[in-house]
Structure 1
Amino acid sequence: MDKKQSLLALSAIAIGTAAYNILKPVKSNVAVVDDLDLDRYMGVWHEVARLDFFWEKDLTDVTATYTKLSNGKIQVINRGFDQKSKKWKQRIGKAKPLGDPKDGALKVSFFGPIYAGYNIVHIDEDYKYALIFGSNTDYMWILSRDVDVPENIKQKYVQYASRSGYATQKLVWTKHEQ
């Protein structure tokens, strides 16, 4: 590919990315928590369950670490152990509130300028357990500060997700073995 073709390809990608972000902005269509304390949310969360997708396929011991940055954004480090390759896998992204930082509606990106919804729909008063919905019903996570979660919390979150249209029978319950 010569310089002219490379420039055209890069221009097409830039225009496509801009159009995507303009025409399909991240929106929260679910009721999110409205009294979120972002500082308390920061730190390490263990994935308890998820609706599986390509990046997390075959992962155990999944954690998400959130760190508030000086520019107001949040660094996100997702990490898990790949059972097939027997290696740790990590992805670093960024997140930021969609509007009022007290609302649980954020957007997250692991692919440059393309963002997806990250909606905190339930969190307990001690910030030990959280239920997260994505931009659509394909993405859902139950998170905890510890790997062990009381059964009543799991059931509460699963029932809420089911009533909200999520295919909870497809949940992958994350193993923590490493």
Structure 2
Amino acid sequence: MNMRFKSVFAVTALAIISLSTTIRAETAAPQAVDQVDIQQYAGKWYEIAHLPMYFQRKCVSNITAQYSLNADQTMRVLNSCRIANGELISSEGVAYSQNAGNSKLKVSFLPQGLRWIPFTKGHYWVLRVDPEYKVALVGGPSNKYLWILSREPQLDEATYQSYLETAKHYGYDVTKLIKLPH
């Protein structure tokens, strides 16, 4: 009986290891696109979905991001949303390019005088953007943050599912995505 238990345990352990290896093989580490045209990327984006994050905990609808190019080649970021009482709240930050293709940025929402503090900038990687800059998938080197953005308040289901597949490929848990109305 003991030998039989050991055999069943060994087969089960091998199956679990094999399954976990297969799951990992199907996903890849997040990769930013090679190039982002900052002029085309600038403008207003509507958030279609995001992974839960502390900074968006009060948002209940109308989440948008407005990007504009600053004279020093950084990007001004203005995020806004509606909260439960109907009030529009916003947060202004700056994004600094981290690569020649402008697809990996670091973003800070600290007051300007405190932005020099190390480890206070978040990763903002453009993981996918359509050729016309109408839809984008944004995340980072970890699977902690993810946003699906669109130039329009609604996104057709086929396009949404396509961007979900890209996120899944990069190992994001898309079952946790939050979609809020516009």
Same fold, TM exceeding 0.5?
A: yes
TM-score range, shorter-chain basis? 0.7 to 0.9
Aligned to 1:147: 153
Percentage of matched positions with identical amino acids: 29
Q: Tell me the matched-pair count.
A: 146
Structure 2: gaps of 5 or more residues: 1-28
How far off its partner does 1:35 sit?
Answer: 2.5
How far off its partner does 1:151 sit?
Answer: 1.1
Q: Do the aligned residues in 1 keep the contact of 2:126 with 2:136 (CA within 8 Å)? A: yes
Structure 2 residue 168 is the aligned partner of structure 1 residue 167: no
Q: Do the aligned residues in 1 keep the contact of 2:31 with 2:141 (CA within 8 Å)? A: no
Aligned to 1:66: 67
Aligned to 1:4: none
Structure 1 window deviating more from structure 2 (30-39 vs 74-83): it is 30-39
CA distance in 1, matches of 2:86, 2:102: 38
CA distance in 1, matches of 2:156, 2:30: 25
Q: For the aligned residues, what is the CA RMSD?
A: 1.3
Q: Do the aligned residues in 2 keep the contact of 1:32 with 1:103 (CA within 8 Å)? A: no
Q: Which amino acid aligns with 1:108?
A: V
Structure 2 residue 57 is the aligned partner of structure 1 residue 57: yes
Q: Which amino acid aligns with 2:133?
A: Y
Structure 1: gaps of 5 or more residues: 1-28
SS in 1 for 2:40: helix
Q: Do the aligned residues in 2 keep the contact of 1:77 with 1:92 (CA within 8 Å)? A: yes
How far off its partner does 1:39 sit?
Answer: 0.5
How far off its partner does 1:135 sit?
Answer: 4.2
Q: Do the aligned residues in 1 keep the contact of 2:125 with 2:140 (CA within 8 Å)? A: yes
CA distance in 1, matches of 2:142, 2:180: 21
Q: Do the aligned residues in 2 keep the contact of 1:132 with 1:141 (CA within 8 Å)? A: yes
For 1:41-96, what per-residue CA distance to the aligned partner results, in whole angstroms no more than 9, with x for missing partners? 0000000000021121141100000010101111000000012x331110000002
Aligned to 1:25: none
Aligned to 1:120: 126
Aligned to 1:3: none
SS in 2 for 1:155: helix
How far off its partner does 1:103 sit?
Answer: 4.0
How far off its partner does 1:153 sit?
Answer: 1.2
Q: Do the aligned residues in 2 keep the contact of 1:48 with 1:173 (CA within 8 Å)? A: yes
Q: Do the aligned residues in 1 keep the contact of 2:94 with 2:107 (CA within 8 Å)? A: yes
Aligned to 1:94: 94
Aligned to 1:7: none
More strand by share: 1
Q: Do the aligned residues in 2 keep the contact of 1:116 with 1:135 (CA within 8 Å)? A: no
The two structures have a TM-score, normalised by structure 1, of: 0.78
